[in-house]
Amino acid sequence: MALQTAGIHHITAFVRNAQVTVDFYSGILGLRLVKKTINFDAPEVYHLYFGDQIGSPGTIITFFPWRDSRQGRIGAGQVGTTTYVVPEGTLDFWQERLDRFDIPFAETERFGESYLQLEDPDGLRIELVARAEGANSAWSFGGVPAEKAIKGFGGAILLSAAPERTAALLEQVMGLAKVGEEGGYARYRSTADIGNLIDVNVEPVAHGSGGAGTVHHIAWRAKDDEEHARWRALVEGSGYHPTPIVDRQYFNAVYFREEGGILFEIATDPPGFARDEAPDALGEHLMLPDWYEPHRAVIEANLSPIQVRVLEGDAQ
Ligand code: ZN
């Protein structure tokens, strides 16, 4: 049977400051910090994961905070916008919340839906859309009760340097179905009910460059290791150059660059973030893979402490 990805597994981006990132994604957006670890390829840098109550696939945004990073430029070859889905009828709540924290936003429409578009502190483009589909988050934090909380990703806007090639990849390899074209975007749907609506530019756009405020890669879901191996073979057989399978502790990963310049990853749903911490204690301690554990003292000394905290605007 042909493979079809359920949708987005996670999105990974570059930022500058770990605490500023925690205050925005947990303090304001109400996401749970589900894992505090390090960049396995650069252990002097945190790798922070935010998601729903357990960091379900389709809800996870991850960050590498590089203090001295240059500012990136959003453009072709990247995910241009990360879309979050909130429960129906809650966009007013979110507008008031953004106002309270002095976060500018624009109201836009696409494919008949209303979006609140904003930027995170480093300039990463985020948008909120309200939909019935997708389970509510069970996580409440600060001023965001679970019934109004972000459910996970609604999808993403991909900015491709070769839109027809990216479209062909999504349809013919990743197993998404084209569901419309409007306002300069083609829309594709995957099988899950979150992380499932992917918009791709139809016309060329200016090239981006990596750095703070840009997405590094987008990961797609594989349901288990057996399917993951089939995905790798399919990607390779379709003319791409996937990496070997890499152990990322909370999932296994393969990466490949698609022809529109965007770095794709395919990641397994299991084992997830409760692999090394109890579900009620996720994100509380710095977790290291076994091969870094002997170096914990040095690694911890190099990282500035961070804290998930209720912000002043919610404390009154
Ligand atoms: Zn990744």
Residue 163 within a domain: yes
Q: How far is the CA of 25 from the centre of ligand 1 (A)?
A: 18
pLDDT tens string 106-136: 999 999 999 999 999 999 999 999 999 999 9
- Asked whether the beta carbons of 274 and 282 are under 8 A apart, the reply is yes
For tokens 């990963």, what's the residue?
Answer: 253
pLDDT value for 128: 98
Q: How far is the CA of 149 from the centre of ligand 1 (A)?
A: 24
For residue 57, the Cα-to-chain-centroid distance in whole angstroms is 10
Residue 3 within a domain: no
- Asked whether the beta carbons of 50 and 67 are under 8 A apart, the reply is no
Q: How far is the CA of 265 from the centre of ligand 1 (A)?
A: 6
Confidence of residue 1 (pLDDT cuts 50, 70, 90): low
Q: How far is the CA of 59 from the centre of ligand 1 (A)?
A: 13
Residue 106 within a domain: yes
pLDDT beyond 90 at 275: yes
* Overall average pLDDT of the 291-311 stretch: 96
Residue 140 within a domain: yes
At 36, list the tokens.
């505090």
Number of domains in the chain: 1
**Domain range for residue 58?**
8-314
Q: How far is the CA of 315 from the centre of ligand 1 (A)?
A: 34
Beta-strand ranges (E) seen in 160-276 are 177-182, 185-189, 197-201, 214-222, 246-247, 252-257, 263-268
Asked if the bond preceding 43 is cis, omega within 30° of 0, the reply is no
Percentage of the chain modeled with pLDDT above 70 = 99
Q: How far apart are CA 274 and CA 34, in angstroms?
A: 9
Which DSSP state fits 278? -
* Overall average pLDDT of the 201-219 stretch: 97
Percentage of the chain modeled with pLDDT above 90 = 98
Q: How far is the CA of 162 from the centre of ligand 1 (A)?
A: 22
Q: What is the mean pLDDT of the chain?
A: 97
CATH number at residue 140: 3.10.180.10
Q: How far apart are CA 294 and CA 6, in angstroms?
A: 38
- Asked whether the beta carbons of 83 and 134 are under 8 A apart, the reply is no
Q: How far is the CA of 252 from the centre of ligand 1 (A)?
A: 9
* Overall average pLDDT of the 207-216 stretch: 98
CA atoms within 13 A on the CB side of 132: 0
Residue 1 within a domain: no
Residue 20 within a domain: yes
Q: How far apart are CA 7 and CA 2, in angstroms?
A: 15
For residue 114, give the H/E element and its range: strand 113-119
Q: How far is the CA of 266 from the centre of ligand 1 (A)?
A: 8
Q: How far is the CA of 283 from the centre of ligand 1 (A)?
A: 18
Q: How far apart are CA 244 and CA 242, in angstroms?
A: 7
Residue 2 within a domain: no
pLDDT value for 152: 98
pTM of the model: 0.98
Confidence of residue 315 (pLDDT cuts 50, 70, 90): confident
Q: How far apart are CA 60 and CA 194, in angstroms?
A: 11
Question: What are φ and ψ of residue 186, in 5° steps?
Answer: -100, 140
CA end-to-end distance (rounded Å), the chain? 56
pLDDT tens string 96-105: 999 999 999 9
**Smallest Cα–Cα separation from 191: which of 170, 216, 163, 217?**
170
Residue 169 within a domain: yes
pLDDT beyond 70 at 316: no
pLDDT beyond 70 at 58: yes
Q: How far apart are CA 50 and CA 88, in angstroms?
A: 22
Q: How far apart are CA 76 and CA 66, in angstroms?
A: 22
pLDDT beyond 90 at 218: yes
Q: Going edge to edge, which strands form the sheet with 252-257?
A: 32-39, 42-51, 60-65, 8-15, 214-222, 263-268, 252-257, 246-247
Q: How far is the CA of 150 from the centre of ligand 1 (A)?
A: 20
Q: How far is the CA of 94 from the centre of ligand 1 (A)?
A: 28
Q: How far is the CA of 122 from the centre of ligand 1 (A)?
A: 19
